Structure 1
Amino acid sequence: MKKLALVGGLALSLIAVNLFAAERPLRLGIEAAYPPFAFKTADGQIDGFDHEIGSALCAEMKVECQWVEQEFDGLIPSLKVKKVDAILSSMTITAERRNSVDFTNKYYYSPARLVMKAGSEVDADFSNLKGKRIGVQRSTTTDRFASEVLAAQGVEVVRYSSQNEIYLDLISGRLDGTLADAIPVNEGFLKTDNGKGFAFVGPSFTDPKYFGEGAGIAVRKGDSELLAKLNAAIKAVRDNGEYQKIQAKYFDFDIYGD
């Protein structure tokens, strides 16, 4: 009888553990200063494409989303020390980042573009940018490209914690341009009143060495269970049309890409 009671107690404990695991929120790291992908509403709530996609994925996986907000360059360190379970913050999938984290399949793709005063011209080798101050967000793919390619042509690369800070200095004339992902800079700056007088200049930047394979969700190295669940959820929301509904709220084109 004692053995039976012990077995029964263990079974109940396992059930309780499994219920707790199923009910534990999924902690998603996000930088809420990257419109239209993530931003704060007037009442201080996080909103945007990334936020809505994340909420849809959590609903598909039947888990509660718990959003953890912080600056972009602190997201991977937070993932490593288990302050968050995953990063859903327009993080580009690159070979360099794969050394630190595992990525889901992409959930959208955006090339990078240079934004300067309308009418500016850029030489193919960027030589006429010598002496220009170009703003980039710290620890991004554009930061790496600017540091390795543009700086070699005499460009002064100025790093910021957020893209919104770059826009302020661009408007005030403290910067000559910014290199950033084309979609957010177009939707969050060029299409707004603040972006009047500015335009895309030069080519689209798509070299996978620097600009990766699209935006993915990062998880800790070896977390294959969460990775599989997120990939299945991304496929499900695209198949059932939820992805397209969210996309239509923010963009008038297919952001997913080929």
Structure 2
Amino acid sequence: MRGFSLNQATTKRWPLDELVAGCVEAGVEALGLWREEVSEYGTEKAAALVREAGLTVTSLCRGGFFQQPDWYDENRRAIDQAATLGTDTLVLVSGGLPDGSRDIDGARRHIGEAIGALVPDAQAAGVRLAIEPLHPMFCSDRCVVATLDQALDLAAPYPAAAVGVVIDTYHLWWDDKVWDGIARAGREDRLASFQLADWITPLPAGVLLGRGLPGTGSVDMRRFAHAVRETGFDGFVEVEVFNEEVWARPGADVLAEAIAGYEAAVA
């Protein structure tokens, strides 16, 4: 694995220019970005900032939410934004059930069709669509893709260079079949992104914000890192954490702890 990448979500309240400066000062070579913060800062301006700092943008989050009526236009904008930022990976949080629906199988079929509709646009832009399976507790509203095998099955009809998958330890640590899924992702050349976040208990009231920095919870990070390394994956490894207590801390302190957690996981 080439090295560490700080996902912008981990230091959500660190302004982008300070985040970039902090990464440079710490010797960090890469970061993952989020569309909302990039759009607020200005996409072209953000692209120039990162480029002039010599940083690699490892991913842009997020596309997806295919249950929304404007999913195609919104994802086209996300693809264009990723290309402008110079990243080849657009993370897809595929979306939950449409309002009033209980048809989870139909929702998954629609996701596959939607991804297929976006493949030509992504290929033309040099951007890979990366399907991220989320923990099953998010199926109803955020992502009906809950396992790595489901993500790989959705990706399978399309070229591996155009559609891959994300392995996020927070979302997949519970699944005893994930190890076979990681090996499959390697065989099929689908592994687009690897993200570290820990599972902490008790979960906060807003479970979306229940992630911990690597090494603070229940996930066997080293086992994940070993399994991913065995596939031949040599990309950057992102630390991506959503946690109000983490966000309240100084960005430089969080970055230092994220680096230490990464080093302990992948050494």
Do these two structures clear the TM 0.5 threshold for a shared fold by scoring above it?
Answer: no
TM-score, normalised by the number of residues in structure 1: 0.30
TM-score, normalised by the number of residues in structure 2: 0.29
Is the strand fraction higher in 1 or 2? 1
**Larger C-alpha radius of gyration, 1 or 2?**
1
Q: Structure with the greater relative contact order (CA < 8 A, sep ≥ 6): 1 or 2?
A: 1
